[in-house]
Amino acid sequence: MKTYKNCTAIRHVYSGGIAKKGVKYNTTHWRGHTYHRALKGNVKFSSALYNANKKSDADHDGIACEKS
């Protein structure tokens, strides 16, 4: 699997980031509440590609370099 150097490189190819298969929405937490937002941009759904670039998933929600 291809490993990207950083989020800028990932977003150049997949504007919405790389998500594990089965992820339906972007989960965010704010002030004790959980929010589910729609995915934005061109999201690539691939568990293998996500695992190769897992270091770029700062919030550990299953989507690396997502648009917020």
- Which neighbouring-strand residues pair with 26? 37
Q: Identify which has the larger pLDDT, 68 or 47.
A: 47
- Cα–Cα distance, 63 to 31 (Å, whole number): 21
Letter string b/e over residues 5-44, b meaning 16 or more CB atoms within 10 A of that residue's CB = eebeebbeebebbbbbeebeebbeeeeeeeeeeebeeebb
pTM: 0.88
46 exposure class (CB count in 10 Å sphere: 0-12, 13-18, 19+) = middle
Question: Could you read off the pLDDT of 31-42 as tens digits, one per residue?
Answer: 999 999 999 999
Judged against a pLDDT cut of 80, whether residue 63 lies above it is answered with yes
Question: Could you read off the pLDDT of 12-58 as tens digits, one per residue?
Answer: 999 999 999 999 999 888 999 999 999 999 999 999 999 999 999 99
Q: Which phi and psi (to 5°) does residue 11 adopt?
A: -70, -20
Q: Identify which has the larger pLDDT, 1 or 8.
A: 8
